[in-house]
Structure formats: structure tokens, C-alpha cells
Structure 1
Amino acid sequence: MWTDPPVVCQWQEPRNLWTSNYINDYKFNEDKLTVQFRTGVLWPIGIATLRYGNMPYQGWDMKPDPEGKGVIITVTGVCITVTWLCIGNKVQLKWIANATTSALKEHFNKPYNVKRMVQLYSLKIMREAACDFFPDFDAHNQIEATCPKEWVMERHNYHAMAFLSRAYNFQWSRWNVGAGNRSIVMQIREAVDKQREAKFQLLQVTPQRATILKCMELSQEFSAEPIVGLQFYPDLFTLNMSYGSVDARRTSFNMKYRLVETVFDLLQELKVCSYS
């Protein structure tokens, strides 16, 4: 799934590194997905690409699975969109949209443990397909237009989102990157009533509190002013306990522990708040 023309390189044993110094007359045929080049030395040849070529995320969405008891997480990269389904303590790769090849299709709908998928399968499967959506701790040094969030706050927020994942629909916000590293901004709406769809509201989470904002996603300017009458809530979970509907509170209390941890683990690996 090349987002940019691949780079042909060779392994230089004396220096113990990959180099493209001896690659000449390089030609890449995008239609046939073939590469032509000349080289002056017969060293081992490899094809390289930018590891984070699909990042930063252009958007993400998390919502309850309308046809089951799972949670659907969709992440849109620069070129492709990947959808996962979390069920119990397993996660399935459901779909890859806008892919230029059929890579990874054989792994669709196969249940994987999140940590094992990330540590073993994603390292091998997704990176070999040039489709890495699991940034390392220092990925912000290699990706432009990102704002790494304070890790304790971000991790705590992912846990709260996981608890509420069957009751709410969460989406990215264009205000998040400019909010700074001590503030997470996203869109939120209740998703317990399938007959009546609620409107998205802006949610701001800081190390001190969680707030529903007065401004909207399409507002001309961002304002951190909360809606009228909103009380103090230290995090997203406690906000739901008072501000959420009875059905939303009941759904979050009935969440299965395995599903909560699966959603949390996947969010923690994707780091959607820091890279969108």
C-alpha cells in the first residue's frame, strides 16, 4: 500500500546500514507497481518506504456496533481508512478503504489479542504492507502537524472512553491539534437511542476536568467556555454519571471488563488523541 514511490536501497555490510548511494536510473511504474533501476554493486537489495506515511490521522470515529455487542473504531489516514471491531477480549480487522492493493485481506475478520496483534502481527503484517497505524513513543519526532498529549491525561481519558464506548459515539475534532499538549478536544454524542440520533457536542478534557463546550465543531473560533450550568467534573467518566442520560449510565455500568480493556488497549496503541 505505497502512499509514496518506494525507495530502493542496498545493505552495506562494512558500515552495517542501508544505502541508496549506488542506485541509478530509478523508475517507478505506479500502474504496474514495478520498479526499474541500475546498481553498481551486487549487495542485498531492499525496498523502503516512510513508516508513518499514512499519518497524521485525518480523522477517527468510535461507536457501538449497531449489529452486535462490540465497538467499532475507524481511523482515517492520509491515504487509507482502517476499521477494527472490538468484541470481548479480541479485535478484528474489518475493512481497509481506498487501498491500492489487496494486502492484508487474508487477515480480515480474524480475532487477535490487541497486544499480541500490535507487538507481533502489526509489526510483521501491517508494516510489511506499508500500513503502520501504531506509532511508537517517539513517533511525534517523525510526523508533522501533531500534538502529543500529556500521557497520564491521555491514558486516563482512553480508559474513560472505553467504559463509555457502548453508550457514546466519539469523533475527532479539528480543534484538537491547536489545543496544546494539556488539552484534548473531541466530539461526543450519545448513541444509546438508535431511533433518534443526537447532535455532536465538543468535549474538552484537561488534567483538571472534563467539560462540554459551548462552541461547536463548525464554529468560526475555538472557545473553552463551557455550556451554561455545567458543574465541575474531574474526568469524562464522572461527567457521564451526572450529565449523561439514564440509558447511557446504565449501559456504561453494564460494560464487560474484557471489552473495556480491549478498547482501551487499542486506543492506547493508536494514540488517536495525539495524532489527529
Structure 2
Amino acid sequence: MNLLETMELPKRLQQSKYQVRYRAPSPPPPGVTRSPEEIEAEIKRVEAEYENLALVFIELPQEVMWSEPPVVCQWYEPRRLWMTTYINDYKFNEDKLTVQFRTGVLWPIGFATLRYSNLPYQGWDVRPDLESDGVIISVTGVCVSVTWLCCGSSVRLQWIANATTPALKDHFQKPYSVKKMIQIMREAACDFFPDFDAHNLVEGSCPKEWVGERHTYHAMAFLARAYNFQWSRWNATAGSRNIVMQIREAIDRKREGKFSLLHATPQHATILNCTELSQEFNLDPLAGLQFYPDLFTLNLSYGSVDARRAPFLMKYRLVETVFSMLTELKLCSFS
């Protein structure tokens, strides 16, 4: 006696190849006018071809600062690269932070953003914090403005203006090392820390001779509790061997003076005879100024008694923190 028994195999997903290549219609040749019927027929044909493509709708994560519409790309495993060949009908909703597009393949999806979307800087400011023993660094980028507070060996994110998402809000007022701060901001697509070749990718940058620029940052770090430094509109066109910025003493806010123009080169530092509001820029120094090899020695003769004493009262941990931030931001080369 034979017994027949039906056995059900476990269900599993079956792989099915899906690949649809869509080519957008080319525009008509110059001078050729199409009739309304031809235009309507082409629109219907495009809509029919769109029906064969997969429609994808994605809400963008709030952990990233979307300053500009992201680029949608897909991972092509055989060549191990990201590509946009199959992405069509792309739509970005800036208010709701959503992305909609059609694709002819179901490959892994990724989003790319412009790394240096905030460069060149629109302005910057370095000044002592009167409420603590720290130094405040404020930078205005193309999309957002960021303020940091350097205290001892740590740096704190104070504020971000014009942010599109609360991406970095959880990191406000928390102490981090400079390297950790850079990592956090880059992961949130808020990169204010250009690499050494970034000037090749940023239009309007003004790369300075690095040895002189780095030395100027070190002097600024020593004097950051005594002076207020600001960007100057003359710096961008001054050339690679000339750094121009605004400077004034900031030890006592009640006796703050007007900004002067500081001119620093690899050979010397001086105060210029012109100002930020001058009609023309010239490199003539103030009358009576002697030769000073750098900003540090300029302060020892030109600064007030309190300003001359300030660098010797600076704690070395704060100096190195401010110096590290300035060298990573590269304010003089991108403003």
C-alpha cells in the first residue's frame, strides 16, 4: 500500500533580473518647430516609458545638513563605483526634505553632497570670550554660520545659524578634541575644514603660502585673548604671499578701538595706512612703524601694556587648541 503525502516547500524570494534603460528624448534641431500634436505624442511616449521604471520615494535623514539638493547615485558592484546612469525624473522637496526619482535598476542607493558647499567663507571673527578664559571663533559660510568656543584643550560647538536640520544640535556645548569636532561636522555634511588641495575645487579661494600662513595662525593663537581678528575684503586679491586681516585690541570692551588692517608676509608684519573702508588698497605702512618679522613681535612694540603681557599669560593648551582650529579652517586662504 503506497501512501501519498503532499509536502510544502518553504517559500523564499526568487531572484528576478530587472534592468530598464531609459534615454531622455533629444531636443529638436535648431529652427525646427513641432506641432502641438507631436509634442503631446512625445509626452505620452515619455510617460509610458516612465511606467516601466521603479518609482522611489525617500525621506532624508535629519542627521545630515542638506544645504543643497543631494545627488542620488547607485552602487554598481562589478566595477565597484557609484553611478547615476539609471536615475531619472529627480525631484527634491526642500521644505519636507524628501527625494523622489525613477530608476531602471534596483541597486543600493546612496546620496552625495558637495563637500565644500560652504566655501569660500563670507566672513570670520576670532575674539576673546569675556565670560570665560576661552576664545570664540565664528565663521560665516555660503550656507550656514558656525561659532566655536575654544577652552583649554577642547573645543565646543556654540551655535549654527541657518541650519536646515537639527543635525548637530545634540553636540552643542559639549567639549571635544579638534579632531573629533572635525569628524562630527564632516559626518553631518557641514565641512568647514578644507584639505590642502581644496583650492583647486573652490572657486574664489585665495591660497596663501602655507609656511607664512601657518606661522601667522600660531601668532594669532598666542594673541587671541588680547585681540579681535576679522576677515578683510582686501585679502582675496592680495596674492599668495600677502595676508590681510582686520585687527584691534579687545582686552577691555569699554575701550575697544577701531579696526586697523594687518598685513603679514613670510618676511614681516605691519599695520597698513589704509582701512577696510578705504576706496583703494595700498601696502604703505603707518608712518613711524619699524620692521617687525611677524605678528608676535609687532605686538611687543605696537600693542598696549596689557596686550603685550597677554601672550605670556596664555595657557599652552588653549594656544594649541586655537592654533589647531585655525590651521584646519584655513581662514586666510578661503576668505
In structure 2, C-alpha distance between the alignment counterparts of 1:88 and 1:153, rounded to whole Å: 25
Contact 1:80 1:99 (C-alpha < 8 Å) held by counterparts:
yes
Q: What is the deviation of 1:193? A: 1.6
8 A contact 1:148–1:275 mirrored in 2 = yes
Per the TM alignment, residue 21 of structure 1 is displaced from its structure 2 partner at its CA by 0.9
**Structure with the larger RCO, 1 or 2 (CA within 8 Å, 6+ apart):** 1
State whether residues 115 and 265 of structure 1, in contact with CA within 8 Å, keep that contact through their aligned partners in structure 2: no
Q: CA deviation at 1:252?
A: 1.6
- Asked whether 1:206 is paired with 2:265, we answer yes
Q: For residue 202 of structure 1, what is the amino acid of its counterpart? A: L
How far, CA to CA, are the matches of 1:153 and 1:242 in structure 2?
21
Map of 1:193 onto structure 2:
252
Q: Does 1:98 align with 2:157?
A: no
The corresponding residue for 2:91 is 27
Q: 1:88 aligns with which of 133, 152, 156?
A: 152
| Distance in 1 separating the partners of 2:213 and 2:271 | 17
Structure 1 moving runs of 4+ over 2 Å = 115-118
Aligned position for 1:221: 280
What is the one-letter code of the residue matched to 1:235? Answer: D
The answer for the alignment partner of 1:257 in structure 2 is 316
Aligned equivalents of 1:17, 1:198: Cα separation in 2: 56
Aligned pairs for 1:110-121 within 5 A = 110-118=174-182
Number of aligned positions between the proteins: 271
Q: Structure 2 regions of 5+ residues with no counterpart?
A: 1-64
Q: Which has the larger radius of gyration?
A: 2
State the secondary structure of the residue aligned to 1:11: strand
| Equivalent AA in structure 1 for residue 169 of structure 2 | K
- Partners in 2 of 1:132 and 1:43 — Cα distance? 28
1:37 corresponding residue in structure 2? 101
Alignment correspondent of 2:82:
18
The SS at the match of 1:131 is coil
Q: What is the DSSP-based 3-state SS (H/G/I as helix, E as strand, rest coil) of the residue aligned with 1:14? A: coil
| Mapped partners of 1:191, 1:46: distance in 2 | 47
| Structural RMSD (CA) | 0.9
Number of the residue aligned with 2:194: 135
Amino acid paired to 2:178: V
What is the SS of the residue equivalent to 1:217? coil
CA shift, 1:145, in A, is: 0.4
Q: Deviations over 1:9-34 (max 9, x none)?
A: 11111222111110011111111110
Aligned: 1:59 with 2:123: yes
Residues 93 and 109 in structure 1, CA contact (< 8 A), matched pair in contact too: yes
TM-score norm. by structure 1 comes to: 0.96
Q: Distance in 2 between matches of 1:203 and 1:253?
A: 21
Q: Secondary structure at the match of 1:26?
A: strand
Paired AA for residue 256 in structure 2: E
Secondary structure at the aligned position of 1:251 is classed as: helix
SS in 2 for 1:253: helix
How far the C-alpha of 1:251 sits from its partner, in A, is: 1.4
Q: How far apart in 1 are the matches of 2:275 and 2:99?
A: 48
Cα displacement (A) at 1:137: 1.1
Q: Take 1:275 and 1:12, find their aligned partners in 2: how far apart are those partners?
A: 36
Q: Which of 234, 246, 267 is matched with 2:305 structurally?
A: 246
Q: Which amino acid is the alignment partner of residue 315 of structure 2? A: K
